[in-house]
């Protein structure tokens, strides 16, 4: 399987590529939308505001290509942090902006005094039996860096949750060929690498 990471100029794409390369996966940075044609799995990562994510993908021509990837072709896509938030119908960071709408819901501010939420946080599965996303993780703590969180309308798409200042938030979602994680697997050491391997094995 070939893994194409969208190069959207929003931060951590090289560290994401390195994480996949740890397992010797065939992974590359897609510099243009057409380069995704050579991929079997697409990865949408990034750090920043919802608005910045939308603008970067539109300016680089990736928006329409990714929408076809998911809606017309039904191919596997992993969203990481901002990449997962862009699955939503709307984001409310610095205004109201339209996302892909692949999963109905909104991206809203986290509530708490220590915003943004940064650091290691325990993640708990709430997926149906047989789900393998967190299978084999050793410690179950992952690295987060965000001030907003995704609130899907359909709770059945939520497969993992975490807590921040006593309130739960969505840590991972699944719908069809889509998987999104709010945490950064590429920064989460062994357990983060295991999550990436679990996904690739499930999609193989």
Which pLDDT does position 169 carry in this prediction? 97
CA angle 107, 57, 8 (to 5 degrees): 100
Report how far residue 106's alpha carbon sits from residue 151's, in angstroms, rounded to the nearest whole number.
Answer: 5
pLDDT for 148 beyond 80:
yes
pLDDT for 10 beyond 80:
no
Q: Structural domain boundaries of the chain?
A: 2-203
**Mean pLDDT, rounded, for 123-135:** 93
Task: Enumerate residues 6+ apart whose C-beta is below 8 A from 65.
Answer: 33, 34, 36
Task: Enumerate residues 6+ apart whose C-beta is below 8 A from 73.
Answer: none
Which pLDDT does position 114 carry in this prediction? 86
pLDDT for 8 beyond 90:
no
Domain 2-203, CATH class in plain words = alpha beta
As given in the structure block, the two tokens for residue 97 are 């902006």
Report how far residue 133's alpha carbon sits from residue 112's, in angstroms, rounded to the nearest whole number.
Answer: 28
Report how far residue 97's alpha carbon sits from residue 50's, in angstroms, rounded to the nearest whole number.
Answer: 7
- Count of beta carbons in the 10 Å neighbourhood of residue 165: 11
Which pLDDT does position 200 carry in this prediction? 96
Report how far residue 106's alpha carbon sits from residue 96's, in angstroms, rounded to the nearest whole number.
Answer: 10
Which backbone phi and psi does 192 adopt, to 5 degrees? Answer: -65, -40
pLDDT for 171 beyond 80:
yes
Residues with a catalytic annotation lie at 81, 184, 186
pLDDT digits (tens, 9 = 90+) for 75-128: 999 999 999 999 999 999 878 999 999 999 999 999 888 889 999 999 999 998
């Amino acid at each position: 399987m070939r893994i194409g990471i969208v190069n959207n100029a929003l931060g951590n794409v090289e560290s994401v590529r390195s994480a996949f390369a740890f397992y010797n996966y065939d992974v590359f940075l897609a510099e243009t939308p057409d380069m995704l044609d050579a991929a079997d799995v697409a990865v949408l990562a990034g750090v920043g505001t919802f608005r910045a994510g939308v603008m970067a993908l539109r300016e680089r021509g990736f928006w329409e290509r990714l929408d076809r990837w998911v809606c017309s072709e039904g191919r596997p896509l992993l969203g990481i942090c901002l990449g997962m938030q862009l699955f939503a119908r709307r984001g409310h960071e610095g205004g109201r902006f339209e996302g892909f709408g692949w999963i109905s819901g909104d991206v809203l501010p986290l509530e708490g005094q220590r915003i943004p939420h940064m650091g290691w946080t325990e993640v708990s599965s709430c997926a149906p039996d047989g789900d393998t996303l967190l299978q084999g993780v050793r410690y179950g703590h992952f690295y987060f860096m965000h001030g907003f969180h995704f609130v899907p309308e359909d709770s059945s798409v939520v497969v993992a949750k975490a807590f921040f200042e006593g309130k739960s938030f969505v840590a991972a979602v699944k719908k069809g060929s889509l998987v999104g994680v709010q945490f950064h697997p590429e920064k989460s050491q062994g357990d983060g690498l295991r999550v990436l391997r679990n996904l690739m094995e499930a999609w193989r």
